[in-house]
Structures are given as C-alpha cells and as structure tokens.
Structure 1
Amino acid sequence: MKIAFIGHDLKFLNDAIEFFEHSPNISVKIDKWEGHEIKDEQASLEIVEWADILFCEWGLGNVVWYQKHKKPHQKLIVRMHRFEMNTIYPSQFDYHKIDKIIAISPYVYEEFHRVASIPREKMTVVYNGVQTEKFEKVKSSKAKYNIGIIGIVPKLKRLDRAIEIFEELYRRNNKYQLYIKGKHPKEFGWVWNNQAEREFYEEVFRKIENSPFKKNVHFEGWGDVTSWLKKVGYVLSVSDYESFHMAPIEGMASGAFPVVLKREGVNVVFPKDYIFETIEDAINFISENDFSTNNNLKTFVKENYSLTNMCNQIMDIFLEK
C-alpha cells in the first residue's frame, strides 16, 4: 500500500506518519504544501502517479486540487479539524471524489454537518492519538506550582484568561509560575498585522509587564514538549473554541492535570472532573488540588487517545471496500 500524506501543516500527524512508515507492506511519501493553495504542481502530479491512498491533512486547497486529479483506483481521505469551517474550501468539495472525511471529535463531526452540510455518510470520527511513551518522564518536584499553556495564537486562545487565572493563583501563593510554550504572536504576520489581534496581545503584555508577578511568567519558544512538560503540573485550555485541543491531552499523558474552561465540545473529549464553568472554579481547583492523585490521567489517555488505536482506525478506513 502506497500512502501519500498531503498538507501544509502536518504537526498533528507526524507520529501517525512515523507509525505507517514503520508498518510492514506500506510505503509512505509526503507532499508538503507551502500554504493552502498549490505551489509545486509537478511534485503533486508525481504523487498522483505513485499513490494508492491520498490522505489530505486539513480540508483545504489540497483536497480541491487532488479531487480533480485523483485516479479512479485511488482513495481520497480527508482529515478535518475545525479551522477549515471558516474557509472557502469545504463548499468546493466533490463528494463523488472524496471517499471518507475524518473528523477528529464528535463536535467537529456535527459542526461540519451543520455548518458546511457535509453528508454524514461521508464522515467518521477518529480521535487524535498520542504516543504516550514519549511523555513517560519523571515530574519535577516543583510541578505542583507550575502552570503551562501551549500555543497562544490567535487571540481566541485567550491568553488574557490564562493571565487572569495565574494572577489570582500568585496572589494566593507566590510560588506559582506560568510557563507559556509556543511562538510569539509577532512571528505570525497575519496576526501581528491585524489591528484587533495586535491590540489584544499588547494589552496583555502591558498587564504582565506592570504586574508584581512579572518574574513568574516565562515565555518559552517552540520545541520539545515532552521534556518541557516534566516541570508542568497543570495545562490550561481556556480558548473560546477548539476542535479537540491536543495540548492538555499531552499534558495528561505526562501526568499533568488539564484545566479546561467549559465550551462547546469539551464534554466528549475531557473527563468532567477537569471541565470548569468559571475561571474562579478553575483557580480553586488548582489551589486546592492534591497533586499526588494524578495517576489516572495517564491511564485515561492510553485508553482513549492512544496513537496505535488512532492508526488502526485509519488503516481500517484505508482497507474499506
């Protein structure tokens, strides 16, 4: 079986790609796009001549191009997140050419049916998978006081809420530290050149700069999350919306507690004990939690979001008649 993985951003699929690369009787190639529209058509045409399975990560221009060029014997599989819903691309899908659309959560499944009118019979749900072994590292003794947030761009990630939570925790106990993992918004032109986005971040940064907790807030760039999580005891998920939100799931795999503010779709992803109605509820949980009782977190991820389970489900889709 020859599988081509196609898309502009494969970060949520890298472990799965590696899984298939090491599977018997499977060959893998990557068609890495520079953006949402095709730039190197010759490279993609060579993939069309080679592949049995065309797997588009994100349902964007890659789907629109490949549905036009796929051969009758080839399967075209599309994995959708949520970002695509606000783009022009789902309205251009040809469901006679697309064999299956994978939604990464039941929430995404329902939203794409409701908003983009994607036929239910074309969709299935396969949750994101985590290579849990990579996160099996000993926690720092200070982890109970260390709060983490992974990815703060765009503003819908709600860095302001993370700071509000941390401000009160610091007021209660100045041992608390906030570690912010990911790229600075300045590194995203489409964010920093947007007045509303830029003003949002500048206001949050001013608040940090003028605060008594300034030295306890640490901005750390992108890099190895598995090592970074060794020092983190709580991973925040405070966005306006998420399709799944891998960061707190990876945190759970490391033994960190997820702290998730209630929003649409979270109840089918996270255990209810870690979903909070208000910021105050989240603060109280962190400050009052017995950090030693976190053994079930890793088990939950292994049972519900293992990489092997995800890849086996995807393989079943490849093999469907």
Structure 2
Amino acid sequence: MHPRVLRTGAGARAWRIVVSAPGLSDSLRFRIAQRVRDSLDKANRPEGAVLTLSSAARRTSSARHRADLLGDAARLELARGRSPRALTAALTTELSYADAQLAAGEATVAAASVIRALRLAFHRVLHFDRTTSPLAQDPGAYLTPVHASTAVRALAEGAGRSAEPADPPADRPLRLLFVTRGNANFLRQIHDHYLAHPKVEVRSLDLADEPALDELANSLTRMAAHRLGDDSEFGRQAEELLRPHLDWADTVFVDWCVGPAALLTSVDPGTTRIVVRLHSAETFSLWPFLVDFSRVDDLVFVGAHLRDLTVAVVPQLAPTGQQRVPRLHVIANAMDLAGQVRHKADDARFTLGVTGISSVAKDPRWAIEVLRILRAEDSRYRLLLIGEDVDAKLSAAARAYARLYRGDLAELEPSGAVRRLGQLDDIPAALTDVGVILSSSVRESFHCGFVEGAASGAVPVGRDWPFFAGKANGARTLFPADWVVASPEEAAERILKVTATPESWRKAGEAASAHAMAAWDWTVVREEFDRLLLP
C-alpha cells in the first residue's frame, strides 16, 4: 500500500477491488478502506481515495461504518475545495443512523450524529468560500435529508416556556440585557442609545469574557443531547449560570443567532422576553437548528431576503399553530450616516470603491471586472479596495479564489488602476476620494459599507446579489431600482452614464445620499428599535 504504487491508476483500481470484495467483515473492510484512503491522499490522488471510500460504503452493512466512510469521502473533497459528489448520500446515511439511535433511546449518540451531519451540510466550502451555494439555489431541495430526519425534527420541536413575558414594568426602568460573544460591531448605536435612555437600565453579557458560559455555548453535541432529552447536567449548568441574568432582565437582546442564542434558549426564560437578531452568516450555518425558537419572542432580520431564506431553512419558524413561534421583524442595521457626509473633490468622479473585501462572498473580482470594462473606455477610472484583504487561509476553496484575485492585482496594481488601502480607522475620510461605491458581493444581509458610501455622496452601483437574485426579496427590493445591476457590463454602463459630467455625477450622488439618510440613518432606524424594545 505504498503511495508510490497508488500513484498509478492500476494500483488504485486494484485496491478499490479489494475493498469491494465480498466476504470481508465490515470492520476489516472499514480498516482497509481507511488505510487505502490515507495512502492515496499521500500519493496526491484524492479522487481515488473518494472512490475507494464510496466503493467500500456500498459493500458495508454496518450503518455506523457506512456513515463514516461516506462522511470521510465528502470531507476529503471539501478539504480540496470541492463540492462532494456523494454529499446527499453522506447526509442521508448519517441522519438515518441518528434517527435509528434516537428511536433506540440513545439520545446522546443521536445528537453526535446530527451534529456530524449538520457540520457537513453547512461546511464553509459549500456556502462561504465559493461564489455559489446550493443552499441559496434551492434550500428545500438541498436540505431534504435534513428536514426528513426525525432526529432533526425532534431537535427543532422546542420545549416552550413556562410563562409568557411579563408586561413592561410601570414603576421602574426597563431592564435590558445585551448578549454577545466577542462581536458587538453592529450593536454600538443601539447599546449607546438605550444606555442614555432615562427609561432603560442596560447591562451587557459577553460570553467571550465568561469562560464557563462560553464553553457551554461551544458544546454542540451536549447542547443537542440536552434538547433531545439527555445530558441533564448540561441543563443544570446552563440554568445555574444564566438564571441570575434572566432574573434581572425584563428583555434580553441577543445579537447574532449563534452559540449564545442556542445556549440561552436551552433554559426556560420564565417571564423574561427574548429577542434575537440574525444577520446573514447564521442562516448558512448549523446554529439555527440548535436554537429553541419556541422560547424566542421576537426574531429580528436585517433584510427581508434573509428572513425568507431562514424560514425556508428552518420551516419551524413559519406559523402553523402547532407550536409557539417568534414574531418576525425586519429592521435595518444601526448606522450613523450623517457622519459620512463630506465634500468630495471633482476627481473622485472616476474612483470606484469597495469597502470590506476579506471574504469570498464580497467577490472583489466582480468589481475588478467592472473596472476593466470602464478602463477600456477611459483610463482615468481606478478602484480603491478598503478593508482587510481576501483571507486565503480559511479553506482550499478560499485559496483558489485568492490566487485568481492576486492575479488580477498583479495585472492592475502596478499602473495604479487598483489600490488596496487595508483596514482603516477613518472610513468617512477615505470615502471622500470615492465617487462611485460598489456592492460586488454574492450575498449580503444589508451591506452597511455600500449604504455608508451612498450616504457619503458616492453614486451607488450594486450587484443584484446572486444568492437572492430572482427571488421575492433581494437587493432589488431593498435598494432603489437604479442602484442595482445584473452584470459588470450593466454596472459599467451606469457608471459611464452617471459620471459623464461633474454635474450629473454630483446630482446622482446627492440624490443617493438623501435617500440613504431618509431611509437608514440611525435617527430613522432607532424609532423601529424603540417600537420593538420599549413599552
């Protein structure tokens, strides 16, 4: 089984025949397949390893071994940045095992199996590190094995709450608890507003500063086992650590629908109102399957398109009358847009800008393609990229994207056509040089940087985010029609037209700024938060 032998097609085929041979016990077949997989991987023949594991799985009767073989085959392809050919088979097999274990009363074993399946279904290569996602294309079809699983359905059933939230207090300020874990980037305006409010008393709980709570929030299998009726110790620990916070608060606002939301809803909130805000990435993760939404009173989205997709991913959010579901709200992110308004020099007219490019979802290569088309007409156009660079370390798929992106930069940076400014402390100052703000992303929940650019007086040209294009809600329903384009060619056409003269450019920028301020400035959006949170 030396890698040198397995580098040849004949050697790899011979071992596939061995692992498929009749008469082998499941345990022996499994061990041989694992050894062949390791050797083929070392021989840089991942496709052969995948075929070997799949061949062995077809001959294996043990449900656990079969799930492991198919799961290993899928993970091998994901490690290479590819969408697994046998992903559906791997998910179906793993979840069938989970269902059988739950039926046999083995809740903890079933929970571990469900978590393995969900980690596979929501692997970042499939949804974050490429410019497409099978979940966005057809959530119902993609998640058919997940939605069909009795163990997953049991996980999503919800324990309910012992009492409805109490009426707001009349004799003292409302006690509002903000819960986060490390990322409070979108909370500052909201937190500061209520901290200064005479009728609100504010506390904050950051799980990143609470090791015991943080550990529980990361204990996915234990959390799932508790939801399935096992691991009472998890429930006891969560109750002991969270009860003082729940007893103090009238309302809890959990930002991001991730670990803290899942942990908090593992405990009966009593008469405390629970509000959770979901941004975007959570919908492409396993976390919504671990949140007990029967204990959430209000679920806030920052875009209607994310609401629609999340309900498709987690059908239990749709009101059916069979179990308690949260009220669904759409409220824009909190932004101080007035601080973005500054004078732009005339030569900013030919400068495109993108703010935030660190993830593949931001797809800066789309913006670069727009620039290429423009420069074929007029070499004065240039592009500023603001923010940390594309992170190539996340996966093989991200590295593949980053290689192409670096090739674009090698072509265009030497001439000054593209400049990377990196992470900046003063974005409003940088936007004074930007005359056209782009949203090049394949998906966004709202795209604060794009709206901030529009508020600054830059002409907005936004991509019809492909993850949501053609659906009931998306970029075209969030923004004015003339802000959104379907292709780099259409983007270039709009830019050439609107920047044809200084007067037309400034007029379009002023109109965009006025719209952004009227629709999304904090002075407007805070009224929606007040209606949500105040008595």
- TM exceeding 0.5: yes
**Within-5 A mapping of 1:217-256:** 217-222=418-423, 223-256=425-458
1:291 corresponds to 2:493:
no
- Check whether the contact 1:4–1:51 (CA below 8 A) recurs between aligned residues: yes
Q: Is residue 74 from structure 1 mapped to residue 277 from structure 2 by the alignment? A: no
The answer on whether the counterparts of 1:185 and 1:192 sit within 8 Å (CA) in structure 2 is no
Q: Post-superposition shift, 1:134?
A: 1.0
Aligned to 2:190: 16
How far apart in 2 are the matches of 1:96 and 1:211?
Answer: 53
Given that residues 4 and 54 in structure 1 are in contact (C-alpha distance below 8 angstroms), is that contact kept between their aligned partners in structure 2?
yes
Q: Is the alpha carbon distance of 1:219 and 1:104 closer, same or farther for their aligned partners in structure 2, counting shifts above 3 Å?
A: same
SS at 2:441 equivalent: coil
1:103-142 matches, cutoff 5 A:
103-117=301-315, 118-119=317-318, 122-142=327-347
- The equivalent position to 1:312 in structure 2, one of 517, 523, 527, is 527
Q: How does 1:152-301 map to 2 (within 5 A)?
A: 152-186=357-391, 191-211=392-412, 214-222=415-423, 223-263=425-465, 264=468, 265-289=474-498, 290-293=504-507, 294-301=509-516
In structure 2, do the counterparts of structure 1 residues 44 and 203 end up closer, same or farther at CA, with 3 Å as the change threshold?
Answer: farther
Instruction: Report the TM-score, using the length of structure 2 for normalisation.
Output: 0.55
Bigger CA drift: 37-46 or 112-121? 37-46
Question: Distance between the aligned counterparts of 2:247 and 2:284, measured in 1?
Answer: 32
Q: Following TM superposition, by how much is the alpha carbon of 1:262 offset from its aligned partner in structure 2, in angstroms?
A: 1.7
Give identity over the alignment, percent: 21
- Name the structure 2 match of 1:39: 214
Decide whether aligned partners of structure 1 residues 123 and 236 sit closer, same or farther in structure 2, where only a CA change above 3 A counts: same
- Opposite residue 273 of structure 1, the aligned amino acid is D
Q: CA RMSD in A?
A: 2.4
Matched to 1:131, the amino acid is D
Match of 1:291, SS state, is helix
Q: How far apart, CA to CA, are the structure 2 residues paired with 1:4 and 1:282? A: 44
Partner of 2:176: 3
Cα 1:232–1:69 shift into 2, 3 Å: same
1:91 paired residue among 267, 286, 289: 289
Contact 2:435 / 2:459 at 8 angstroms: preserved in 1? yes
Bigger relative contact order (CA 8 A; separation at least 6): 1
> How far does residue 72 in structure 1 lie from its aligned partner after superposition?
1.6
CA contact (8 A) 1:129 1:309 kept: no
The residue type equivalent to 1:254 in the other structure is: S
Which structure shows the bigger proportion of residues in strand conformation? 1
The answer to whether the Cα contact below 8 Å between 1:48 and 1:70 also exists between their aligned partners in 2 is no
1:279 to partner: Cα distance: 0.9
C-alpha offsets along residues 207-260 of structure 1, whole Å, 9 cap, x if unaligned?
221347642321122222222211111111121121221111111111111111
Deviations for 1:280-319, whole angstroms, at most 9, x for unmatched residues?
1101211221212122212211221121332222222224
Query: In the aligned structure 1, how far is the partner of 2:370 from the partner of 2:340?
Result: 26
Larger Rg: 2
For 2:495, what is the secondary structure of its paired residue?
A: helix
Is the aligned partner of 1:54 residue 2:252?
yes
Alpha-carbon deviations, 1:68-112, whole Å to 9, x = none? 346422111011122111212211222331110011121112111
Q: Deviations over 1:125-167 (max 9, x none)?
A: 1122332221121123321111110111321211111111112
Aligned AA for 1:207? D
**Counterpart residue type for residue 316 of structure 1:** R
Q: Unaligned stretches of 5+ in structure 2?
A: 1-173, 217-239, 320-325, 469-473, 499-503
CA shift in 2, pair 1:73/1:251, >3 Å: same
SS of the residue 2:505 aligns to: coil
Q: In structure 2, what is the Cα distance between the partners aligned to 1:45 and 1:172?
A: 64
How far does the alpha carbon of each residue in 1:33-79 deviate from its partner, in whole angstroms, 9 at most, with x for none? 449x9427798666445322211111111111112346422111011
SS at match of 1:244: coil
Per the alignment, residue 69 of structure 2 pairs with none
Matched AA of 2:431: L
Is the 1:48–1:69 Cα contact (8 Å) retained in structure 2? no
CA distance in 1, matches of 2:186, 2:438: 19
Provide the secondary structure at the position in 2 that maps to 1:259: strand
- Counterpart amino acid of 2:407? R
Q: Is residue 167–residue 213 contact of structure 1 (8 Å, CA) maintained in 2?
A: no
- Asked if the contact 1:60–1:89 (Cα under 8 Å) also holds between the matched residues in 2, the reply is yes
Residue-pair matches, total: 315
1:151 aligns with 2:352: no
For 2:415 and 2:188, the matched residues in 1 are separated by 35
Which is helix-richer, 1 or 2?
Answer: 2
Contact 2:247/2:272, CA 8 A, preserved across alignment: no
Distance 2:378 2:356 in 1: 25
Q: Which amino acid aligns with 1:143?
A: A
The alignment status of 1:28 with 2:199, answered yes or no, reads: no
Distance 1:143 1:22, change over 3 A: farther
In 2, are the aligned partners of 1:53 and 1:77 still within 8 Å (CA)? yes
Normalised to the residue count of structure 1, the TM-score between the two structures is: 0.89
